[in-house]
Structure 1
Amino acid sequence: MSMEVKALEHLLKVELATDKLRLIGRAGGGCINDGCSYETDTGKVFIKTNSKSEAKLMFDGEVASLQTIRSTNTVRVPRPIKSLANPSGGAVLIMEHLDMHSLNRHQKMLGERIAALHLHNQHVGDELKKHKGTIGKGVGQEDVQYVDKFGFYTTTCCGYIPQANDWQQEWPTFFINQRLQPQLDLIERDYGDREVHQLWSQVQSKIPVLFEGMTIRPSLLHGDLWGGNVAETSEGAVVFDPASFYGHSEFELAIAGMFGGFGHNFYDAYHSLIPKSPGFEKRMKLYRLFNYLNHWNHFGTGYKGSTLSTMRSLLS
């Protein structure tokens, strides 16, 4: 056993107050993190590790996202336990272990639960108006507070890139300034791509038109709902690895449709509760643009072509 593993397991024993710590399995924690499960005195836990210097920020945002989703009682997520600095570098996230399998039987349930998640804040607001009083105490407390702006309580990371979530009154303002522009700034810094720069100046002026006549109320989003972040247990659908914020519910569906994993049962169930609004398909292109930019920044120029074609499509 390496010194790094010994140090990690000592940390886990102390933080979990357990004498028993037996490795029971490893999981490929995706492209970003490593994962494994341990048996402890009080049951199983799942451990995510990341050696990057910014990992603690990333895991803190994930904990806040998981806690906020859990507080809605809509869709199941693993219960976060602790986010810790790793003595060997980076950070560690301890959470509930769930026996998960690929999403199959519970596509319809997932569609219903994600729609319920997206509608939850609106329902809280409607109840607040009905009773003309306060019904919330804030995130992490007993009740859920109505959120009337777009953003989040803390920084979250989509992949390993930090996302500023400063509160904004208008959704297009938030989406342009705090989602698209930071991604484009990274591409400018790392690649200096002239074509993207030129297209962006044209696309930016078209964005407000896509939201004309719409009233968008903030929805709590998972924030990274692709097929690798959904699963099921014997009890039903589960989502994990969130990068939450309050945004436009349609944003959630863009990455869901880009990489597979979601069938017609998911979409039929979702849209039975949140029907498509006029202009939906064009806005999907805009939301896919964010994901192509984010993937370019994570994985390189293999996503340049998709980025450029999406930008041109938005201009047509």
Structure 2
Amino acid sequence: MEAMLKKELGTSMLKYTGYSGGGCISEGQSYDTDNGRVFVKINHKSQVLNFVFVCITCTNAITIKAKRMFDGEMASLDAILQTETIKVPKPVKVIELDTGGSAFVMEHLDMKGLTKYSTQLGEKLANLHLHNKRSLDKQMREQQTENEWQDDWVTFYSRHRLQHQLNMVEKSCGDREARELWSHLQLKIPQLFTEVEVVPALLHGDLWGGNVAQTTEGPVIFDPASFYGHSEYELGIMAMFGGFSSSFYAAYHENVPKAPGFTQRNQLYQLFHNLNHWNHFGGGYKSSSLRIMKDLVK
């Protein structure tokens, strides 16, 4: 594999630094090259289960090629980089391995756990979420025309996110209570958005505590699964797995104030992640999924 990396990166030196890391899907290692230090994420399987669901190039929880998964991550990092709002590793190249699987090469960042930049993270994430709106506002001022983007977020989220997850629940275990609760909840969902304007925002897509860190310069986010959607969606998984301080939320909401009905919509966005985890990690998430649905249909 190292010979292939040398060739693909055009480097005569490829020296393992001793740093490694990884998650439940891929492993990673850092190397020194002629052009500086890089971090290489490796998945040795030709196909992997993509359970994140929402990224620029991958829209369903299906078994996909490792290369396609890394292509999606690279596109996500590129999209976030172009906003110049928040630091992410610069992507370099996706490489298909002769032995099967793929590798994703990106900039190496000396990161450690987030401890002192929570306020900056809140401000920068808000700027990321507001970037598209500011661009559209500028375009409107310059062209004095209506925005053509009229996609219905509420219908999209209800049908293509929640309904899809519940279809998977039905297929795997046929839970009657979930089926009955959904029949009531899907009728109520539009009411949760009556007092909020949804402007498409570029989202990280999977921003829990394990995907944030810091360098000496400030906060970093990584492992994105980016897409355009309601900015509040990003905060759903944050509330589930923690890792974000009160200073983060204060800074974020100073820039993106809570709209009426925020608390219930936050539960609605948590519901997707609970259902997703129920489908992929088992019945341990059943009770939390049903509890959220019961709370929302009251």
Q: Say yes or no: TM over 0.5.
A: yes
Q: For the structure 1 residues 314 and 105, does the alpha-carbon distance in structure 2 shift closer, same or farther, using more than 3 Å as the test?
A: same
Aligned to 1:190: 172
Alignment of 1:201-240 (within 5 A): 201-240=183-222
Cα distance in 1 between the residues matched to 2:70 and 2:165: 20
Cα distance in 1 between the residues matched to 2:3 and 2:158: 45
Aligned to 1:96: 107
Cα distance in 1 between the residues matched to 2:68 and 2:179: 29
Alignment of 1:1-316 (within 5 A): 8-50=1-43, 51-53=45-47, 54=64, 55-132=66-143, 149=149, 169-316=151-298
Cα distance in 1 between the residues matched to 2:285 and 2:148: 34
Q: How big is the alpha-carbon RMSD for the aligned residues of Structure 1 and Structure 2?
A: 1.9
Q: Deviations over 1:248-300 (max 9, x none)?
A: 11111111111111001100000001110110000011000011112222322
Q: Deviations over 1:67-91 (max 9, x none)?
A: 0000000011101111222222222
Confirm or deny: 8 A CA contact 2:275 2:285 kept in the other structure.
yes
Once the two structures are TM-superposed, the CA of residue 202 in structure 1 deviates from its matched residue by 1.7
Cα distance in 1 between the residues matched to 2:181 and 2:28: 39
Q: For the structure 1 residues 37 and 210, does the alpha-carbon distance in structure 2 shift closer, same or farther, using more than 3 Å as the test?
A: same
Confirm or deny: 8 A CA contact 1:148 1:218 kept in the other structure.
no
Cα distance in 1 between the residues matched to 2:140 and 2:292: 40
Q: Deviations over 1:71-117 (max 9, x none)?
A: 00001110111122222222211111100000011100000000000
Cα distance in 2 between the residues matched to 1:302 and 1:198: 20
Q: Which amino acid aligns with 1:47?
A: V
Cα distance in 2 between the residues matched to 1:114 and 1:307: 27
Q: How many residues align?
A: 280
Cα distance in 1 between the residues matched to 2:83 and 2:290: 38
Once the two structures are TM-superposed, the CA of residue 315 in structure 1 deviates from its matched residue by 1.0
Residue 257 of structure 1 aligns to a residue whose secondary structure is helix
Q: For the structure 1 residues 27 and 133, does the alpha-carbon distance in structure 2 shift closer, same or farther, using more than 3 Å as the test?
A: farther
Cα distance in 1 between the residues matched to 2:135 and 2:16: 42
Q: Which amino acid aligns with 1:276?
A: K
* Structure 2 alignment gaps of length 5 or more: 48-63
Residue 290 of structure 1 aligns to a residue whose secondary structure is helix
Q: Which amino acid aligns with 1:216?
A: V
TM-score when scaled to structure 2? 0.89
Residue 103 of structure 1 aligns to a residue whose secondary structure is coil
* Structure 1 alignment gaps of length 5 or more: 1-7, 135-146, 150-167
Confirm or deny: 8 A CA contact 1:148 1:217 kept in the other structure.
no
Q: For the structure 1 residues 104 and 81, does the alpha-carbon distance in structure 2 shift closer, same or farther, using more than 3 Å as the test?
A: same
**Any runs of at least 4 consecutive aligned residues in structure 1 with deviations exceeding 4 A, and if so which?**
none
Residue 164 of structure 2 aligns to a residue whose secondary structure is helix
Once the two structures are TM-superposed, the CA of residue 148 in structure 1 deviates from its matched residue by 5.9
